[in-house]
Structure 1
Amino acid sequence: MGDRQGKKAETLAQFHLAIPVHQLPAAKQFYCDVLGAKEGRATEHHLDVNFYGHHLVLHATPEDASHLFDSFEADFHGESVQIPHFGINLDKLTWSQLAKRITLMGYEFLDAPHIRLQGLPGEHASMFILDPSGNALEFKAFLNHDEVFSKVFDPQTKELFTLDELMVSVSSEGLT
């Protein structure tokens, strides 16, 4: 299928998420300066950011909208995770650099860098942080990215590399 100029239309698959924030300036500083997002369109009430290639929109919430930030902890293979949350699956180097940047900029982890599902399909390094409005974000680096959607205990999985180096790197920086 072509477009109006006769060029072939390109396929695009980009995640879009709109989230509530209390203060746009604090949210902009956190997402752009700490997490490395790139600022896009903005108005008095919203900010679009390029979040690792995905379209994240930060919307200023009304003063009486505190119920939008209700959350709870859910069980995930014997660990608690904050619900709701969103995040990004990163490569090992980018994940490690982000963990260091978060620490150097003085932000505390909701759940410090560690390995989940160790020895199982889907093994990954994980860390959680809250933005200034209380939105939970998780960042992951998978042992084998092909296992992102694998079923736990699937005998068809294979290990392509190890996360041990990543955790040693993170812990040597005093992040665990």
Structure 2
Amino acid sequence: MSLPRFHLAFPVDDLAAARAFYGEVLGCAEGRSSDEWVDFDFHGHQIVAHLAPGQAGDRASNHVDGHGVPVPHFGLVLSMAEWEALAERLRAAGTPFVIAPTIRFKGEPGEQATMFLRDPSGNALEFKAFADIGKLFAK
């Protein structure tokens, strides 16, 4: 049995900018596309950038561990090595962070490495990793 995969469709203001960010900066392979949307391979998951100018970006933020976390947001839980490599890739690309790569909930059951950033349309993304993936849902 194969692992489940998620599908996420989200609005963007500019497909060329989305291609550059998701394809070049994040390294996501491009799949099918049209003049209105582009599929990307987001670590084995399908995300689809739909052209919808003015509809992207967060609407609010929640206070979490001393940071204003943008809502809505999406992202991935990576291995620690993948997370560290992505953080370095994003830094090298000059990507501005909403929340720079950091360790959240230090010393608590849910301790995690996390970083938040925005795509060119303002959509917020979070990438996180756990030293112990078994604590992903720990209370």
Q: TM-score, normalised by structure 1?
A: 0.74
Q: Does 1:94 align with 2:91?
A: no
Superposition deviation, residue 30 in structure 1: 0.3
Which residue, 28, 40, 44 being the options, matches 1:49? 40
Provide the secondary structure at the position in 2 that maps to 1:69: coil
Q: Does the CA-based 8 Å contact 1:122-1:143 persist in structure 2?
A: no
Quote the residue 2:110 is aligned against.
122
Q: Does the CA-based 8 Å contact 1:85-1:137 persist in structure 2?
A: yes
Quote the residue 1:59 is aligned against.
50
Larger RCO, structure (CA 8 Å, separation 6 or more): 2
Q: Does 1:20 align with 2:8?
A: no
Which residue, 34, 37, 40 being the options, matches 2:31? 40
Higher strand share: 2
Consecutive unaligned residues in structure 2, runs of 5 or more: none
Quote the residue 1:30 is aligned against.
21
Consecutive unaligned residues in structure 1, runs of 5 or more: 1-9, 152-176
Aligned sequence identity (%)? 45
One-letter amino acid matched to 1:132: P
Q: Sort the Cα spacing of 1:37 and 1:117 in 2 relative to 1 into closer, same or farther, 3 A.
A: same
The ranges of structure 1 where at least 4 consecutive aligned residues each deviate by more than 6 angstroms after the TM superposition are none
Q: Does 1:103 align with 2:98?
A: no
RMSD: 1.4
1:117-158 deviation line (CA, Å, top 9, x unaligned): 11111110111110000000001011211111121xxxxxxx
Computing the radius of gyration over CA atoms, which structure comes out larger, 1 or 2? Answer: 1
